[in-house]
Amino acid sequence: MGYNRQVNLETLTPVIDPEGMHVESYRMLHEHKDGGSCEPHFRSLWMVKIVGQKAPVTLIMDTTIEAYEFNTMNSSDLPSEKDQEDMLDQQIMEKLQNA
């Protein structure tokens, strides 16, 4: 691929917080690398939680469209507000039963 803003996963994976919230703030279709045309891909800007840090860091990265779609979700993929309330009620009940 060789995109201009390709992320080194060997460097990022050990430091990204798997329990953290990672928020995309911008995405665009991009079709250039090293000043020339290339296959379409996404360039996106993220606020990423790093292990041991309170404040997020900014990460700008280029990814294939397929990798982006496989590894991200949007709000329509999340449970509804009612389902979230039901899940929380269930968690509370389980904690009370196990106390």
The verdict on residue 78 lying in a domain is yes
**What residue has token string 């990672």?**
22
pLDDT confidence band for 39 (50 / 70 / 90): confident
User: What are the angstrom distances between the C-alpha of 38 and each of 4, 63, 68?
Assistant: 11, 13, 17
79 Cβ neighbours under 8 A, 6+ residues apart: 87
* Number of domains present in the structure of the chain: 1
Whole-model pTM: value is: 0.64
Kindly state whether residue 15 falls inside one of the protein's structural domains.
Answer: yes
Asked whether residue 2 is assigned to any structural domain, the reply reads: no
In a domain, 1, yes or no: no
Within a domain: 76:
yes
Does residue 3 fall inside a structural domain?
no
79 domain residue, yes or no: yes
Structural domain of 78: 9-98
Whether residue 52 is contained in a domain is answered as yes
Please say if the pLDDT value at position 6 is more than 80. Answer: no
What is the mean predicted confidence (pLDDT) over 62-66? 89
